[in-house]
C-alpha cells in the first residue's frame, strides 16, 4: 500500500537508477514527489494545428512531422536540426541549433506538441506570410508505444502539466506526469495537517484535492491563474508551506515572550548616563528604535530583536546605548562581529565612548595570544570586563561570563542560528539584539527571522550627501585613476576594491595583490597605497586599517573584507573593479564605506568585458538609487532568494512551491493566521496538534534547525 512516506524507489517504474536522480532533486518519498509541482501548464484543451497559429504568439502547436532534416547554415556554420509540420498551404518549421542529439529523438511520422514563440519564417526560399518557424520550441512526442495510465490521455485535450526535467533531461516532463498520475491513482487519499478551522476560514481546498488538481487541473480551470500560481489549489499549497514555517516562528516567539528574563530598570540616572555618552543628537529613527529596545529590556522576558538599518544609519550607537542600560544594571555585554576588522572597529568605537565612564571594554578574537586570551577570559569570568567584543572566538566553550545580560550580534546572516544560541547560552536568558546592515526585504526577514521582532532605522544622520555613482567600462581605467589622484591630492582617501569570489579565491587574491603592486609603483607613486585582504595575518590587517584610518595610507587596495562596517569618514572615493561580478547588495555595502562624512563622495563601478542584461540592470539600479530597501527588493527579484546573501550560508529554507518574490501576499496571510492560532488563549484543540506536526516536520521540510 502506497503512503506519503513510501520511498519513491519502490514505486513501479522508478527503480534505483531513477531513484538516484530523483534523490538529487530532493525527492525521496511519495510526499516529496507530490510536492514537485508543475513549473507551468500548456493549454492543450483545443490543440491547434500549424494552420491556426499566428506569428507573434506563444502557442502550443500539435501536428504530424512531415519531414526532418539536418544541415549547416552557410554564414555561421551552425548545425541546424529542423522538423517540418505542414497543414494545408501553411508550413511550420521548427529549428534547433547545435542540437544534433535530436536526430535520434525526433522522426517523421511522429505526432508532436511544440511550445514556443511562433514567428514568420525569414529563411531563404520561404514564403512570407505563409511559412512560419519556431526556434528552439519545447517539444513532446505524443505518439508513442505506451498509452497513458488508465487509458486516459495525459498529454492532449486537457491542460497539461509541464515539469522541470531531472538528470540532465533523462527524466522528462512526461515521465513525471505519468509517475505522479499513477501515484495519485494508487494513493487513495491523504490527511490534511492544516487545521480545519484555518481551512474553513480561508476556504482552502483539502490537501488531497489541492495536490491532485495542481498536477492535473480541471478542464475548466483558468490558464492565467495557473500560470501565475494562483489557482485555488496552488494557493493552498503555497499557503501551507508558509503557514507551517510561520507556525514554528510563532511558537518560538511565544516561548521567548513567556520565558523568564532580566527586567532591566531604566532610571533617570541611566538616562542621564546615556545622554552624557552620546557625541551627537540621535535621529528620530534612532530614538524610536531605542524606545523599542528599552521596552524589551525592561520586560521580564528575553529580548529577541532584529535591528535593521542601512549602512551608516547609526545602528552601532543604538547598540551602545542598550549596552549602557545593561551595564548600569550590573550586567555584562557581549558583542559578536563576523570579521576581525569589524570586531576591532567596534572595539575602538565602544572603548572611545564608554571608556570615559570607567567601563571596561575588551577585545577577544582568535588573533590574541594564548596568554592574553587566558587573562582576558579570567577577567570576563570574574565580571571585571563590562563589554566584550569579539569574533567567533566569543562562543568558544571556555569563555564564561559572570553575568551576561545583553548579547549583540552584528551582521547576523553571517552567523547561523546555532551560533547565536551558543552565545545566548553563556548567560541566563540574556536579551538579544541582532543587527544587520543588509536591508532585508520583508518577505525574507519574515522567513529568516520570523521568530524575531523587528526594528528599522530608516533615516540617515543629518548632513549626509548622496554618493555620486557612475558605471564605466574598464577601457576608461586611466580616467578613473586620474580622478582618484585629484581627490587624494585634495586630501581625501580612496578605496579600490577587487572581487574575491569564493570558488576562485586564489586567482582573485592574486589580482588584488598584483594590482596593489602596479598601482603603488606605476599609477600612484606619489601616494602611500595599502593592501588589505582576508589572508593577511591579523596584526598586519590591523596595522593597515589603522594607518588608513589615520590618513597615512591614502589609497587602500582591498578585497571585500572592507564590505561590512568599516568606518573611515575621510574616504571619499570607492572604485569597484569587476563590478559586474558582485551582487547588488554587496555593491551597496561597499559603496556605503564612503559618504560617511559631510563632504561629497563618489562611487565608480568599473566593469570589464561584455555585460549580460542582468548585470547591466544590476549596475543601473545602483547609479539610480541609494535606498537600501529598494536595492534589496531589486536584488531579490533579479537573483532570487537563494542568491540574495551571495554564496554564504544563509539559512533560507528551500521552499518547494512557494516563491518569496511572487508570493509575498500569501506569506503575510500565512503569518497572520499562524500567529493568531498560536497565540490563542486558551489554545484551541487544533493548536497542539498543529504544533506537534510542525515540530516533527520542521527540519525535513525546511532544512532549518527547530529550537525549542
Ligand atoms: P551603522 O552601524 O548603521 O553602519 P554607524 O553606527 O557605524 O552606522 O554610524 C555611522 C557613522 O555615523 C558613525 O561615524 C557614527 O558616529 C555616525 N552617526 C551615527 N548616528 C549619528 C547621528 N545621530 N548624528 C550624527 N552622526 C551619527
Ligand atoms: Mg556599523
Residue 649 has pLDDT above 50, yes or no: no
In the reported structure, the alpha carbon of residue 471 is separated from the centroid of ligand 2 by a whole-number distance in angstroms of 26
| pLDDT at 464 > cutoff 60 | yes
User: From the alpha carbon of 565, which atom of ligand 1 is closest?
Assistant: 4
Ligand 1 atom at minimum distance from 318 CA: 6
pLDDT digits (tens, 9 = 90+) for 72-116: 887 778 899 999 998 888 899 999 998 888 998 899 998 888 988
Question: Residue 353: CB within 6 Å of ligand 1?
Answer: no
Residue 437 near ligand 1, beta carbon < 6 Å: yes
**375 and 396 inside one domain:** yes
Q: Which atom from ligand 1 is nearest to the alpha carbon of 592?
A: 4
Give me the pLDDT at residue 503, please.
46
- Position 535 in a domain: yes
Closest CA to 141 of 164, 117, 173: 173
- What average pLDDT score do residues 243-264 get? 87
What mean pLDDT is predicted for residues 629-642?
A: 78
Kindly give the pairing relationship between strand 159-162 and strand 40-43: antiparallel
In a domain, 250, yes or no: no
What count of residues does the chain have? 708
The pLDDT confidence band at residue 6, using thresholds 50, 70 and 90, is very high
387: containing domain: 272-457
644-655 mean pLDDT: 58
**What is the per-residue pLDDT for 298?**
96
In a domain, 176, yes or no: yes
Q: What does the pLDDT look like over 214-231, one tens digit per residue? A: 999 999 999 999 999 999
Q: Which ligand is nearest to the CA of 314?
A: 1
Contacts of 348 (CB under 8 A, 6+ apart): none
Top-confidence residue, 397 or 314: 314
Tell me how far the alpha carbon of residue 66 lies from the centroid of ligand 2, in angstroms: 68
Omega within 30 of 0 (cis) for the link into 661? no
Ligand 1 site, residue 461, Cβ cutoff 6 A = yes
The rounded Å distance from CA 317 to ligand 1 centre is 7
Ligand in closest contact with the CA of 281: 1
Neighbours of 220 (CB within 10 A): 7
Say if ligand 1 is within 6 A of residue 319 CB.
no
Q: Is the pLDDT of residue 471 over 60?
A: yes
Ligand 1: distance of its center to the CA of 394 in Å?
25
**Could you tell me the three cell numbers for 381?**
569570568
Q: What is the pLDDT of residue 528?
A: 95
> Are residue 28 and residue 52 in the same domain, yes or no?
no
Cα distances (Å, whole numbers) of residue 214 to 37, 338, 657? 7, 43, 11
Does one domain contain both 380 and 402?
yes
Q: Tell me, what's the pLDDT at 146?
A: 52
- Asked if residue 165 and residue 152 are part of one domain, the reply reads no
Highest mean pLDDT among 282-296, 356-370, 655-669: 282-296
Residues 150 and 162 in one domain: no
Q: Are 560 and 497 in contact (CB under 8 A)?
A: yes
Q: Which atom of ligand 1 is nearest to the CA of 463?
A: 25
Do 216 and 289 reside in the same domain of the chain? Answer: no
Tell me the CA–centroid distance for residue 411 and ligand 2, in Å: 9
Ligand 1 atom 19: residue of nearest CA: 314
Last residue of a domain, one of 568, 595, 625: 625
Q: What H or E segment, with its residue span, contains residue 308?
A: strand 304-309
Of 435, 437, 438, 461, which is best to mutate to test ligand 1, by the most ligand atoms within 8 angstroms of its C-beta?
Answer: 461
Residue 83 covered by a domain: yes
252 within domain boundaries: no
In a domain, 308, yes or no: yes
Q: Can you say how many angstroms the Cα of residue 588 is from the centroid of all Cα atoms in its chain?
A: 15
For residue 646, pLDDT over 70 is answered with no
Q: What is the CATH number of the domain that holds 377?
A: 3.40.50.300
Give the residue whose CA is nearest to atom 5 of ligand 1. Answer: 314
Total domains, the chain: 4
Chosen domain end from 136, 157, 178: 157
Which residue CA neighbors atom 23 of ligand 1 most closely?
282
* 147, 180: one domain: no
Q: What is the pLDDT of residue 564?
A: 58
Is 567 a pocket residue for ligand 1 (Cβ < 6 Å)? yes
Does residue 515 sit in helix, strand or coil? helix
**Least distant ligand from the CA of 459:** 1
The CATH number given to whatever domain includes residue 147 is 2.40.50.140
Dist. CA 61–CA 317, nearest whole Å: 64
CA distance 625 to 590: 14
Q: Is the CB of 345 under 6 A from ligand 1?
A: no
Q: Which atom of ligand 1 is nearest to the CA of 596?
A: 11
Report the nearest-CA residue for atom 22 of ligand 1. 461
> How many other C-beta atoms are found inside a 10 Å radius of the C-beta of residue 265?
12
Q: What is the pLDDT of residue 647?
A: 41
Inform me whether the pLDDT recorded for 388 exceeds 90.
yes
Give one DSSP letter per residue of 156-187, joined into a string.
SSSEEEE---BTTTTB-HHHHHHHHHHHHHHH
Q: Of 286, 288, 289, give the one whose Cα is nearest residue 278.
A: 286
Residue where a domain stops, chosen among 582, 603, 625: 625
Lowest mean pLDDT among 171-175, 452-456, 507-511, 580-584: 507-511
Q: Are residues 526 and 602 both part of a single domain?
A: yes
283 lines ligand 1 (CB under 6 A): yes
Residue bearing the CA closest to ligand 1, atom 21: 461
Q: Kindly report the average pLDDT of the chain as a whole number.
A: 87
The closest residue, in CA terms, to atom 18 on ligand 1 is 314
**What is the pLDDT averaged over residues 600-629?**
90
Is the same domain home to 108 and 203? no
Residue 89 lies inside a defined structural domain of this protein? yes
- Same structural domain, 477 and 511: yes
701 assigned to some structural domain: no
139-154 residue pLDDT tens? 888 876 454 444 457 7
- Supply the pTM of this predicted model: 0.72
Can you tell me the mean pLDDT for 517-540?
Answer: 88
414 and 306: one domain? yes
> Are 514 and 380 in a shared domain?
no
Amino acid at each position: 500500500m502506497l503512503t506519503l512516506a513510501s520511498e519513491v524507489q519502490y514505486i513501479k517504474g522508478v527503480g534505483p537508477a531513477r531513484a538516484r536522480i530523483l534523490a538529487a532533486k530532493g525527492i525521496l518519498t511519495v510526499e516529496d514527489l507530490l510536492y514537485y509541482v508543475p513549473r507551468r501548464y500548456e493549454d492543450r484543451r483545443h490543440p491547434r494545428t500549424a494552420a491556426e497559429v499566428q506569428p507573434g504568439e506563444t502557442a502550443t502547436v500539435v501536428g504530424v512531422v512531415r519531414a526532418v532534416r539536418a544541415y549547416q547554415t552557410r554564414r555561421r556554420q551552425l548545425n541546424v536540426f529542423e522538423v517540418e509540420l505542414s497543414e494545408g498551404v501553411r508550413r511550420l518549421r521548427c529549428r534547433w541549433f547545435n542540437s544534433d542529439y535530436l536526430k535520434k529523438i525526433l522522426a517523421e511520422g511522429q505526432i508532436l506538441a511544440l511550445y514556443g514563440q511562433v514567428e514568420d519564417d525569414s529563411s531563404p526560399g520561404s514564403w512570407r506570410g505563409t511559412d512560419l518557424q519556431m526556434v528552439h520550441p519545447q517539444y513532446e512526442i505524443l505518439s508513442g508505444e505506451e498509452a497513458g495510465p488508465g487509458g486516459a490521455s495525459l498529454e492532449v485535450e486537457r491542460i497539461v502539466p509541464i515539469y522541470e526535467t531531472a538528470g540532465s533531461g533523462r527524466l522528462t516532463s512526461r515521465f513525471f506526469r505519468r509517475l505522479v498520475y499513477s501515484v495519485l491513482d494508487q494513493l487513495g487519499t491523504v490527511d490534511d495537517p492544516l487545521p480545519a478551522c484555518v481551512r474553513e476560514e480561508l476556504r482552502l481546498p483539502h490537501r488531497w484535492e489541492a495536490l491532485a488538481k495542481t498536477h492535473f487541473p480541471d478542464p475548466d480551470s483558468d490558464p492565467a491563474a495557473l500560470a501565475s500560481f494562483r489557482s485555488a489549489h496552488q494557493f493552498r499549497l503555497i499557503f501551507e508551506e508558509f503557514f507551517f514555517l510561520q507556525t514554528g516562528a510563532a511558537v518560538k516567539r511565544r516561548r521567548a515572550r513567556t520565558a523568564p528574563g532580566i527586567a532591566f530598570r531604566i532610571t533617570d540616572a541611566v538616562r542621564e548616563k546615556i545622554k552624557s555618552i552620546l557625541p551627537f543628537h540621535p535621529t528620530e529613527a534612532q530614538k524610536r528604535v531605542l524606545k523599542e529596545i528599552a521596552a524589551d529590556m525592561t520586560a521580564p522576558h528575553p529580548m529577541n530583536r532584529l535591528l535593521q538599518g542601512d549602512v551608516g544609519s547609526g545602528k552601532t550607537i543604538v547598540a551602545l546605548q542598550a549596552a549602557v542600560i545593561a551595564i548600569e544594571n550590573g550586567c555584562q555585554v557581549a558583542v559578536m562581529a563576523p570579521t576581525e576588522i569589524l570586531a576591532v572597529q567596534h572595539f575602538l568605537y565602544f572603548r572611545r565612548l564608554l571608556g570615559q565612564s570607567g567601563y571596561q571594554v575588551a577585545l577577544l578574537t582568535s588573533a590574541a595570544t594564548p596568554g592574553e586570551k587566558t587573562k582576558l577570559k579570567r577577567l570576563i569570568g570574574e565580571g571585571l570586563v563590562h563589554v566584550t567584543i569579539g569574533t567567533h572566538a566569543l562562543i568558544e566553550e571556555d569563555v564564561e561570563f559572570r553575568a551576561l545580560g545583553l548579547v549583540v550580534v552584528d551582521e547576523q546572516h553571517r552567523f547561523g542560528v546555532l551560533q547565536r544560541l551558543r552565545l545566548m547560552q553563556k548567560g541566563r536568558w540574556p536579551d538579544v539584539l541582532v543587527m544587520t546592515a543588509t536591508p532585508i526585504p520583508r518577505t525574507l526577514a519574515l522567513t529568516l527571522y520570523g521568530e524575531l521582532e523587528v526594528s528599522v532605522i530608516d533615516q540617515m544622520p543629518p548632513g549626509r550627501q548622496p554618493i555620486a555613482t557612475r558605471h564605466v567600462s574598464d577601457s576608461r581605467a586611466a580616467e578613473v585613476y586620474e580622478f582618484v589622484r585629484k581627490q587624494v591630492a585634495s586630501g581625501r582617501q580612496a578605496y579600490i576594491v577587487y572581487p574575491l569570489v569564493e570558488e576562485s579565491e586564489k586567482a582573485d587574491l592574486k589580482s588584488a595583490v598584483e594590482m596593489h603592486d602596479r598601482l603603488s609603483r606605476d599609477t600612484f607613486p606619489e601616494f602611500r597605497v595599502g593592501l588589505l585582504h582576508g589572508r593577511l595575518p591579523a596584526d598586519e590587517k590591523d596595522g593597515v586599517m589603522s594607518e588608513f584610518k589615520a590618513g597615512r595610507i591614502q589609497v587602500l587596495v582591498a578585497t571585500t573584507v572592507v564590505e561590512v562596517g568599516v568606518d573611515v569618514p575621510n574616504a571619499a572615493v570607492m572604485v569597484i573593479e569587476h563590478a559586474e561580478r558582485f551582487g547588488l547588495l554587496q555593491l551597496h555595502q561597499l559603496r556605503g564605506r564612503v559618504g560617511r562624512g559631510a563632504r561629497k563622495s563618489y562611487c565608480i563601478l568599473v566593469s570589464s568585458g561584455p555585460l549580460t542584461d542582468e548585470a547591466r540592470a544590476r549596475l543601473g539600479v545602483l547609479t539610480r538609487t541609494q535606498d537600501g530597501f529598494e536595492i534589496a527588493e531589486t536584488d531579490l527579484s533579479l537573483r532570487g532568494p537563494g542568491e540574495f546573501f551571495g554564496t554564504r550560508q544563509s539559512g533560507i529554507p528551500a521552499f518547494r512551491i512557494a516563491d518569496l518574490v511572487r508570493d509575498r501576499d500569501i506569506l503575510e496571510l500565512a503569518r497572520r493566521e499562524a500567529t493568531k492560532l498560536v497565540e490563542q488563549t486558551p489554545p484551541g484543540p487544533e493548536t497542539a496538534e498543529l504544533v506537534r506536526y510542525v515540530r516533527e516536520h520542521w527540519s525535513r521540510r525546511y532544512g532549518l534547525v527547530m529550537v525549542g
